[in-house]
Structure 1
Amino acid sequence: MPTNPGASTATPVPPPIVDNQQLYQLLLDRGVQLPSQRVVLYRHKDQKYPLVKYIGTRELALYQANQTRAEEPGTLILGFFGHRDDYGLLLGAWKVTGVMPTRDAERAGLLQGTIEDLGDEPSYFHTLEEVDLLQDVRLKLEICFGPPAIVWRRVLTPQNTYPVRLLPDCPIPFRGLNNVSLVMSELRMVLTDPVWQRELSAISAIYLITDEHSGRQYVGSAYSGLGLWQRWGDYARTGHGDNIELIHVLKQAPGRVNEFRFTLLEPLPASTAPDAVIARENYWKIALGSRTHGLNRN
């Protein structure tokens, strides 16, 4: 068939999300074939697991994979984090591709890396494939589950009322340069926010990267160009920012990037001379022992 040169090949832009829009209609707008597509909602509120830290990772999929109730293959699961009573923030979307008893999955090695205690209660392991549905609004889309919020699993039907809204601000609010400490998933979110971009690009800085798995630390500096925003953007893109020791860590354990925490140690005026910035970097390397016991080579 001849190609129409005037036809657009761009991906259709879905209608904007409006306050109090129903989740059912939102999914229809995003191309989900309802009601034939079965959709189940999970609302997680256990504070002992840092779920936000694992957004987009295998660990978050594993956390949701083990359930006391078996879901049908083909089911679409929407996961939410219960950040306040009766409400949840979207963590992501997964398609169930298989199900088996949890103990069988454990014997097969499918649960390696799980962050959750499996317990003794009979349960089922689900093979989950993360899909990009609503990926652009993770941690931004808020849903009202309504009482009783203790019912953490819901099956979506046309009769259910689940109003949604987009949070107006970045899910990680900027609270000043003296309060900047972010895990990798948070860093990747804030770097796209205009407020964070404005504040971090306006300074030179000394920063600390902590591998929360091992406790080892790396001290670095940012100056010139777009300052700390540009330097931390290198880490968000590559995971290691071309640091030799961090490259080595990620070669040994690729998933370790999710354990990296980025902390602003000392903000400096953007006009600070590079030699002065490096002098402060050396001070912090000595103070924190990051050459002797950490990830700094020089």
Structure 2
Amino acid sequence: MDHRARPFRSVLYIPGSKPRALEKARGIPCDAIIFDLEDAVSAEEKPAARTLLAQTLAGGGYGPRGQIVRINGLDTEWGAEDLDTLAAARPQAILLPKVNGAADIEALARRLDARPGTEETAIWAMMETPAGILNAAAIAAAPRMAGFVMGTNDLAKELGSRTRAAMTTSLQLCLLAARAYGLVCVDGVYNAFRDEDGLRAECAEGRDFGFDGKTLIHPAQVEIANAAFAPSEEEVALARRQIAAYEEAVREGQGVAVVDGRIVENLHVDTARATLARAEAIAALEAA
């Protein structure tokens, strides 16, 4: 699966221990689901949760939604068995929490390599520790890597940050590493799930930064994230006009065009074509 070829506008956390939530998730119009065995599941529930989640995923019913399983860390008493149990369900990706360096990913990749039938299972990394942020490029280049998830709550705790602005460097370092190695990169959660205006503003900021989408903690947040990380009708129309104007300029022997008083060069056309491709991918996902 080419993860960057499909949308990840809305990536919803679902507790792996809650049958009702797992069932309800089959009808939520999010682009992807993180089935969580880590923070969302208490210690005493973890063994039963991994069994429930494996059975649930084996039953299918999630349609085109991306299926990502967040296991417990391999340095915990639950991580190895989480992987043994869930790898057999063949999710599209395993999400490893609290990744500090490439060695963490390499260890997980070796375990997956030893399991027949997991060749298509990618690895995603939670980027939520200072060491992980500083090692973002090496992590992005590690085997099977396909995506970064910003763990902004844990990161704020580790940094002692009290504002999102204080994490700007961390966010940008991860985006740089993700783009350098062709990974998906999704923004952290917005905790005040009833604050629609706040969520809308943070989604807009994340989209302006360059994130592919946003992780969400409540189904009510999905619609806002889907809208924020999709090209608007105006953006699609502008992309088409830019492409048409540039192609006409090339036919006339010119290297640039002008649209709405702005120069359009080949790099702008590349961006315009990417906008159209993203809009088409979203339409295909929503129609599936």
Using the size of structure 2 for normalisation, the TM-score is 0.26
Q: Which has the higher strand share?
A: 1
Using the size of structure 1 for normalisation, the TM-score is 0.25
Q: Which has the higher helix share?
A: 2
